[in-house]
Structure 1
Amino acid sequence: MNSMGRRRSRATAVSAAGVLLLVGACGSNDEGSAEETAAAIDCAQFEQYGDLEGKTVSVYTSIVDPEAEEQRASYKPFEDCTGAEIEYEGSREFEAQLPVRLTAGNPPDIAYIPQPGFLKSLVEDFPDAVTPAGEAVVANANEFYTPEWVEYGTVDGTLYATPLGANVKSFVWYSPSAFEGAGYEVPTTWDELMDLSQQIVDDGAIPWCAGIESGEATGWPATDWVEDVVLRTAGADVYDQWVNHEIPFNDPQIVTALGAVGDILKNPEYVNGGLGGVTSIATSAWNESANGIPDGTCWLHRAANFYQANWDEGLEVAEDGDVYAFYLPGKSASDKPLLGGGEFVTAFSDRPEVQAFHAYLSSPEWANAKASVTGQGWFSANSGLDSSLLQSPIDQLSYELLTDPSYTFRFDGSDQMPGAVGAGTFWTEMTAWVASDKSDQDVLTAIEASWPSS
């Protein structure tokens, strides 16, 4: 058995300064780049992967430039210390083309899968193509990720994929300076959030702004709303049953949750600050829908940590800055459900160099290398990540919540559902819910009717 078949010992994570120096050296085009890398860090931590000189590993993903440049930069320590070459291919047609490539017998060595549901379908449809994780990958997964994250990469008891990047969706964006000026406090329970919304109305303003327009994907931000609220009104166990269709999509507990979403999004006194009435939610671009917060035309906007990329560059995103986000509260201060998402690494070959690269991508060394070359909007669920490397206060907060055991994490539900539902009727019916005031019961019943029979 080669070195990749043995459980790897935990290597010491590279310090913030060390990672920055490492990637800087690795990014050099000088002929001495490999030697500079060896001088910057101890390549002994890469010896577990073996001598891979002359070996090539192909990576296929939906991540395209400019983000792809950061991905490629994060591979340099592995390449320069092992001698392997990583061939990266990003495609906007990734989800459609990956099954085509598998059918044609032309799989990549590594792929980044954006949804657990997609991973499950690949394993079911191409059981001989997807490779179970090797022992070193399994060891990293169990050491550096929570059981929930490991389970999302597992199909029928076998680990196939490990987490790559992550995001947290349970946030409400606001203006700290505006809150201070108005005397508002960040709510810590759902009731306090609703009381704050009403207080803003009583003070003569419209509290919430929202938008779900996203081209062919219009409706997806509304599904995040429902998922977050199901976690808060029904709990994580019911959420799991709903996502796995162990209870119907229109179960009474889900009807209750959608009604709670409607208490905000269908209340004409509460929405849609700076954009219009309730129906304007369906036509307001999701990535521009919070513009009213710094303008003072709305106060609250529920969106993930990655919404920060849409703020004007002149705004400071910080706890005491122009805009920031607070945790979307649960029923009580001790009730802490957390909704999020991310990508997963899976392999289609058991060649030593492929398994070695998969192990690297599941390690703290890769997470720290990636963080050191990335601006705002990226972090990992890897517990070995040095959070001081994260470039944005909201990313640091996201990582803090994601790795805090007092929070109960659940992966985005629509990403786990069959595509016809999660990226189909769930989107379109939620759009009809706000655009034409379709009733809660009719929306959920239509989605239930669309669930595939097998």
Structure 2
Amino acid sequence: MRRPRPRPRTLAILGVCLALLAALAVGLNAYRWKGSVTVLANWTGPDEKQFRAKVIDPFEKKYRIHVIYQGSSAESQVLAADVETGTPLDVAILPGPGELAGYASRGQLKSLDDLVGAKDFSSTWMPKVAGPGPNRTPHTYWVPVKAGLKSMVWHPATLSSDQLKAVAATPSAWCLGMASGATSGWPGTDWVEDILLQQAGWKVYSQWATGNLSWSDQRVRRAWTTWGALVGAGTPRISGALTTEFDKASAGVAKHPATCRLEHQASFVRSAWQEMRGTYSPSAEIIPNAGQNARSWEISGDLAAMLRDTSQARRLIRYLASPAVQRSWNTEESGFSANKAVLRDAHSGDQTAGSIASTLSDRTAKLCWDASDAMPSAMREAFSQAALSFLATGGDPKEQLTALEAVRSKQPKTGLTSVCGRG
């Protein structure tokens, strides 16, 4: 039996369908991923959401490189385990240079010398540190993707300078929150670090932060006792501070100013204090017995390093360092960039933010990395626990300092020779 011949209309429809399928195949091929890159950072929740929206999604769209992101509050442990098993992620973003310098000294980071222009960042943010081997050749191993300013005391804008000093002498005036999950205690280490910096100066501070000064040194001990006297260590009010989340310490200041009026905290609380009509003063103006280094500042930052040298990882490092990308997401809420060009113009519409950005890029100011972030992870964790213990008990910090000195004696050198520099 003869089969019926297709009608011309049927052939036309079939032709259109085949053409659409071919076009779809071409389109799918054109947007196929060009590889992937794995990234580890400590951003979760709203921070991760912002990072994905402002950085990851545009990167994937532009380069068609799939970003496999892992956010963890225990990223130090995750990274250490991955490196030990020989399966590190491609890119890790860690807070501070301490752990990264250790990985660099063991040959576990890839040099970024040919990837990122040093002219965009000061050497404080992107130093050359010792690499592996007998020659210990220095290289650039990380790039800052986010920056913060510390050594700040937030307070109601209505307080005059004299009133501020008077209020600061009352322990109950300080807003305190030490809780931060697995990293609880770091607001206390920030206090001790900053007091040492302002009292003893940046040279002593840098020596201590790099593991070259005993925890039993009298200048270190004075910093602890100064902190204890300021905030009332060992008094009944401290029990509440130990369980208060660090980002909730100042909650209710506007409605109940009698509870606390001052907060020693970094630039990330800017938005909250501005909503309460607050401002900040340099901590050097408030810390007792501050020395001549009254304009020294602690800084913090999230630093991206490359553990596996792939074309996708190199592309992401360049992308993270670019002024356009840093400007796009570091102007959100309380974020800041360490890029010179971004700092010059990103916060021109906000006086408080502009002042912070100006300090971060000030060539006349001495900027020093958060000391605990420059220490090996074991030293940092012991420091945080000691701060909690001392805050709870008060009195003489001899017991805590003796224990910390024992930890220091067992730590390898990270390769950092200094933690202070210019903006």
**TM-score of the superposition, structure 1-length normalised?**
0.72
Paired position in structure 1 for 2:402: 445
Distance 1:153 1:114, change over 3 A: farther
Paired position in structure 1 for 2:83: 102
Shift of 1:413: 0.7
Aligned positions of 1:11-410 closer than 5 A: 54-72=34-52, 73-125=54-106, 127=107, 129-137=108-116, 140=117, 142-151=118-127, 156=136, 157-176=138-157, 179=158, 184-186=159-161, 194-198=165-169, 206-266=172-232, 277-278=237-238, 280-291=240-251, 293-294=253-254, 295-297=256-258, 298-308=260-270, 311=272, 317=274, 322-330=277-285, 331=290, 335-371=294-330, 375-385=332-342, 389-390=346-347, 394-410=352-368
Q: Deviations over 1:297-339 (max 9, x none)?
A: 1221111122346x4xxxx716xx5233232225479731111
1:164 alignment partner AA: V
Q: Provide the C-alpha distance between the structure 2 equivalents of 1:361 and 1:216, rounded to a whole number of angstroms.
A: 28
Q: Helix, strand or coil: the match of 2:274?
A: coil
Q: Provide the C-alpha distance between the structure 1 equivalents of 2:67 and 2:313, rounded to a whole number of angstroms.
A: 10
> Unmatched 5+ residue regions in structure 2?
1-31, 413-423
Q: Provide the C-alpha distance between the structure 1 equivalents of 2:405 and 2:320, rounded to a whole number of angstroms.
A: 38
Shift of 1:64: 2.4
Q: Provide the C-alpha distance between the structure 2 equivalents of 1:317 and 1:153, rounded to a whole number of angstroms.
A: 38
Q: Deviations over 1:214-256 (max 9, x none)?
A: 3443322111001111110111110011112212012111122
Q: Provide the C-alpha distance between the structure 2 equivalents of 1:306 and 1:61, rounded to a whole number of angstroms.
A: 18
Contact residue 305 and residue 394 of structure 1 kept, 8 A: no
1:446 alignment partner AA: A
Q: Provide the C-alpha distance between the structure 1 equivalents of 2:149 and 2:156, rounded to a whole number of angstroms.
A: 19
Q: Helix, strand or coil: the match of 2:99?
A: helix
Paired position in structure 1 for 2:371: 413
Contact residue 75 and residue 366 of structure 1 kept, 8 A: no
Contact residue 116 and residue 152 of structure 1 kept, 8 A: no
Q: Helix, strand or coil: the match of 1:329?
A: helix
Contact residue 165 and residue 381 of structure 1 kept, 8 A: yes
Q: Provide the C-alpha distance between the structure 1 equivalents of 2:350 and 2:128, rounded to a whole number of angstroms.
A: 27
Shift of 1:262: 2.9
Q: Deviations over 1:191-221 (max 9, x none)?
A: x9544535xx6xxx95323232334433221
Q: Helix, strand or coil: the match of 2:148?
A: strand
Contact residue 233 and residue 391 of structure 2 kept, 8 A: no
The more displaced of 394-403 and 298-307 is: 394-403
Distance 1:152 1:442, change over 3 A: farther
Distance 1:232 1:84, change over 3 A: same
Q: Provide the C-alpha distance between the structure 2 equivalents of 1:420 and 1:108, rounded to a whole number of angstroms.
A: 22
Q: Provide the C-alpha distance between the structure 1 equivalents of 2:264 and 2:121, rounded to a whole number of angstroms.
A: 27
2:122 alignment partner AA: T
Count of aligned pairs between the two proteins: 367
2:160 alignment partner AA: E
Q: Deviations over 1:87-116 (max 9, x none)?
A: 333234422222222233322221112232
Q: Provide the C-alpha distance between the structure 2 equivalents of 1:267 and 1:85, rounded to a whole number of angstroms.
A: 49
1:208 alignment partner AA: W
Paired position in structure 1 for 2:4: none
Percent identical among aligned pairs is 23
Q: Helix, strand or coil: the match of 1:246?
A: coil
Q: Provide the C-alpha distance between the structure 2 equivalents of 1:152 and 1:292, rounded to a whole number of angstroms.
A: 44
Contact residue 153 and residue 162 of structure 1 kept, 8 A: no
Q: Provide the C-alpha distance between the structure 1 equivalents of 2:182 and 2:61, rounded to a whole number of angstroms.
A: 41
Shift of 1:82: 4.1
Contact residue 78 and residue 84 of structure 1 kept, 8 A: yes
Shift of 1:147: 1.5
Paired position in structure 1 for 2:416: none
Q: Provide the C-alpha distance between the structure 1 equivalents of 2:160 and 2:128, rounded to a whole number of angstroms.
A: 36
Distance 1:446 1:332, change over 3 A: closer
Q: Provide the C-alpha distance between the structure 2 equivalents of 1:114 and 1:351, rounded to a whole number of angstroms.
A: 23
Contact residue 376 and residue 392 of structure 1 kept, 8 A: no
Paired position in structure 2 for 1:9: none
Shift of 1:120: 2.5
Shift of 1:280: 4.5
**TM-score of the superposition, structure 2-length normalised?**
0.76
Shift of 1:283: 4.0
Highest Rg: 1 or 2? 2
